[in-house]
Amino acid sequence: MEMTSVYVGLDYHKEFIQVCVVDESGRRLCNQRCGNDWRSVVAMGERYGKVIRAGIESCVGAANMADELVNQGGWCVDLAHPGYVRRMKQNPDKSDFTDAQMLADLERVGYLPQVWLAPKEIQELRRLVRYRQQLVNERRSIKLRIGALLREHRIEKGPGRRWTKVWMLWLEAIPGMSESSQWILHRHLDRLKGLCAEINAVEKRLLEWSKEDRIVEKLLELPGVGLVTAWVLRAEIGRFDRFRSGKQLSRFCGLSPRNASSGNRQADAGLIKAGNPLLRATVIEAAHRLVRNFPRWRELGYKMEQAGKKKSVIAAAVGNRWMRWLFHQMTPAKEQPKGKE
């Protein structure tokens, strides 16, 4: 007897998963909860027929579940863009029941707005890169607190530049501060040293991870790209050939202007409010370096400056064009998974 072809929608929660199964005509076969375990999901879905495709909304933990369903359960799973799914739903009421059915129906008709399901090695790299950025943000916060403490005591100057070894030695024995302020300052300095050591440890691990990665090696050969920039691009973009054009890649990075045209009025409304903040910030920082150090981009920046553009606008425009150029540099040769020829 021929098995019924079914489509599955999964609404993910950390305690359970709402599973909706529909057939090819859209008839709901089941819509109920099961445990947060790929075996339970597979058992419930395959109870009603052969699973053609499954859709799960992208959220924390959903990528791991999707990866298990693909590699352990043998399913074809798509990660759904939560923002687009919510807008397509056009329903003021929200429940796990309706969310799961919406995903199943969108998967059935082929309208599910997908996001890329990164392979396991890229997911691991993302964790390392984002953990490093968390430490860097915390280090910056402590430096700002130390600066505020110095301003409170009207201590503005020191030997050499701030945060150099000479300046840090002077800071440890700085005169003119109260006993409580000295105690707080030394606590900040201890945490700062610990964070610097932790950041160095993360960077060593990232070096070990990327020493055989050909995409990172190719990025490092490009002008203006250092290790941190290469790690972030590799982690957040993953594969450059998953984009159809440089324009699409630039929009993914949140560097394209939003079109705000109507009738005869042609205008833009600033950068699109999308993309990973770390990725966009990294590209903007790279754009500042390009404008300072490389003639091609310096000339573009100069022309825009002469036209009255602000430096922030110039950096965004250079970053936009650089990502389009980078797409063509990275896509001619077919990219392959790490460690394989």
Confidence at 266, pLDDT banded by 50, 70, 90 = low
Answer with the one of 210, 227, 257 that is the final residue of a domain: 210
Q: Are 240 and 330 in contact (CB under 8 A)?
A: yes
285-316: pLDDT as tens digits: 999 999 999 999 999 999 999 999 999 899 99
Confidence at 262, pLDDT banded by 50, 70, 90 = low
Buried b (16+ CB within 10 A) or exposed e, 136-174: eeebeebeeebeebbeeeeeeebeeeeeeeeeeeebeeb
Confidence at 226, pLDDT banded by 50, 70, 90 = very high
72-88: pLDDT as tens digits: 999 999 999 887 777 77
pLDDT value for 265: 67
pLDDT value for 268: 65
| Residues 220 and 325 grouped into a single domain | yes
| Residues 218 and 205 grouped into a single domain | no
Query: What are the Cα distances from residue 15, in Å, to 35, 225, 317, 338?
Result: 7, 42, 44, 33
pLDDT value for 68: 92
Confidence at 4, pLDDT banded by 50, 70, 90 = confident
Answer with the one of 190, 210, 230 that is the final residue of a domain: 210
pLDDT of 227 over the 50 cut: yes
In this structure, the number of other CB atoms found within 10 A of the CB of residue 190 comes to 11
pLDDT value for 260: 63
Answer with the one of 180, 210, 240 that is the final residue of a domain: 210
* Number of folded domains that form the chain: 3
Average pLDDT, the chain: 89
Residue 171 domain flag? yes
pLDDT of 269 over the 80 cut: no
| Residues 107 and 9 grouped into a single domain | yes
Domain containing residue 23: 5-115
Residue 338 domain flag? no
Q: What is the mean pLDDT of residues 142-169?
A: 89
Residue 336 domain flag? no
Confidence at 40, pLDDT banded by 50, 70, 90 = very high
Q: What is the mean pLDDT of residues 138-157?
A: 92
pLDDT of 336 over the 80 cut: no
Choose among 82, 136, 100, 74: nearest CA to 11: 100
| Residues 10 and 100 grouped into a single domain | yes
pLDDT value for 341: 35
| Residues 221 and 275 grouped into a single domain | yes
Residue 339 domain flag? no
In this structure, the number of other CB atoms found within 10 A of the CB of residue 271 comes to 21
pLDDT value for 61: 87
pLDDT > 90: what percent of the chain? 63
pLDDT value for 120: 87
Q: What's the pTM?
A: 0.83
100-116: pLDDT as tens digits: 999 999 999 988 888 88
Residue 340 domain flag? no
Query: What are the Cα distances from residue 254, in Å, to 49, 85, 156, 195, 206?
Result: 41, 20, 38, 30, 25
Residue 335 domain flag? no
pLDDT value for 220: 95
pLDDT of 126 over the 50 cut: yes
| Residues 12 and 37 grouped into a single domain | yes
Query: What are the Cα distances from residue 97, in Å, to 9, 34, 82?
Result: 10, 12, 16
pLDDT of 1 over the 60 cut: no
Q: How far apart are CA 219 and CA 233, in angstroms?
A: 9
| Residues 218 and 325 grouped into a single domain | yes
For the ranges 20-24, 82-86, 245-249, 321-325, which has the lowest average pLDDT? 82-86
Residue 337 domain flag? no
CATH number at residue 70: 3.30.420.40
| Residues 316 and 246 grouped into a single domain | yes
pLDDT value for 194: 97
| Residues 224 and 178 grouped into a single domain | no
Residue 148 domain flag? yes
Q: Are 237 and 275 in contact (CB under 8 A)?
A: no
| Residues 63 and 167 grouped into a single domain | no
For the ranges 75-84, 194-203, 266-275, 332-341, which has the lowest average pLDDT? 332-341
Confidence at 60, pLDDT banded by 50, 70, 90 = confident
